[in-house]
Chain A
Amino acid sequence: MSHFSTIKTQLKEAEPLIKALNNLGYKIDQEEKFVKGYQGKFTAVDISMHLPGDTEVGFKYDKNSSSYELVADLDLWKFEIPVERFISKVTQMYAYQTIISKTKEDGYQIVEQKNKNDGSIELVLTKWDN
């Protein structure tokens, strides 16, 4: 039996999220734990960083959704890509990191990886049964 699934990725864990941010070239600030959020209010975050263009963003763990949410003052957003696109990029890389690390733990090997024209990443992994 085989199956086909579609999964909506959620930023559930810190480790793959930090890996994804590093992989995209964003540098995380270890010190700063407050970021200006909605209406310029300082908000405690778990991960904070500066994006080029001096845009400060953070990720805060939300217990209700059991996932990390972006904290940023959108009035001060100066980064080269819109905030929605930024979240998409981070989520795509998070999914990639999660798949790579979980399948490696299970003994799978990457046999193919392609960046497609539509911006998607295609991955094929295999394992021989024993």
Chain B
Amino acid sequence: MPQKTLRFKIHQDGRVEETVEGFTGNSCNEATKDLEDALGKVTVKNKTSDAFISNQNEKLKQLNKESNVTF
């Protein structure tokens, strides 16, 4: 059973960035439609694949490792 994750960054001016992860097919759109309608106007919407996100995470981890400087 996959875990569904919602991430939000609520900016000082009230702008909300939302990332929705762990849904299959188009169900991610339905999952947050009510919330998006309640908040206001969606100005940007991009579909991402989970594979892409986890690849990015791996890359970031690698970068963090490489840039870890100890004094």
Contacts and interface: CB of A to CB of B under 8 A. Distances in A.
B34 to A, nearest CB: 6
Interface residues of B, number: 48
Interface in B1-30: 1-29
Interface in A14-59: 16
23 contacts: A2-B48, A2-B50, A2-B53, A3-B19, A3-B28, A4-B20, A4-B46, A5-B20, A6-B43, A8-B14, A8-B41, A9-B39, A12-B38, A16-B38, A99-B35, A108-B6, A118-B11, A122-B8, A122-B10, A125-B5, A126-B3, A126-B5, A128-B1
Interface of B: 1-29, 31-32, 34-36, 38-50, 53
